[in-house]
Amino acid sequence: MNDIQQWLREGDPSAHETSPSDAEMAELLVRMPRDLGGATPRAPLQSPSHRWRLATVAAACLAGVSWWGAREWFPAEAARKEALAAVSPQPARELYFTTPEGIRVIWIFRSPASE
């Protein structure tokens, strides 16, 4: 166990370095924003990811306006679709159960009007 600790201490690259003093740390903190501020920022909406995001938002807005517009500008068509949905036949009712012996039973009830 002591051999492993010794190997780790000998192999540590920062073991022989001293930590920066308070004055050096203050200088680093002052210099860092100044160094980072000199970087040239990208122009807004110039990267490909921004373009894809903008195109996605535009497509979603267009789809929403189209859907809303179709219902508002063609109310007779929307009313016709709703009336057809109300008149369509009801699906058959089904009853599922399992007996104590493990037999599955399925009963399908259909009204005479749907046949």
Q: What are 48-60's pLDDT values in tens digits?
A: 677 888 889 899 9
Share the mean pLDDT of the chain. Answer: 76
Residue 30 lies in a domain: no
pLDDT per residue over 11-49, tens digit each?
887 777 777 788 888 888 888 877 776 655 556 656 667
Query: Could you tell me the end-to-end alpha-carbon distance of the chain, in angstroms, rounded to an integer?
Result: 83
pTM for this prediction: 0.28
Indicate whether 64 belongs to any domain.
yes
Note down the domain range covering 103: 51-115
Residue 88 lies in a domain: yes
pLDDT at 100 over 60: yes
15 is a domain residue? no
Is 11 part of any domain?
no
Question: Is residue 36, in this structure, part of any structural domain at all?
Answer: no
Residue 21 lies in a domain: no
pLDDT of residue 44: 61
Number of domains in the chain: 1
Flag whether 17 is in a domain. no
Q: Which of 109, 76, 104 is nearest to 90 (CA)?
A: 109
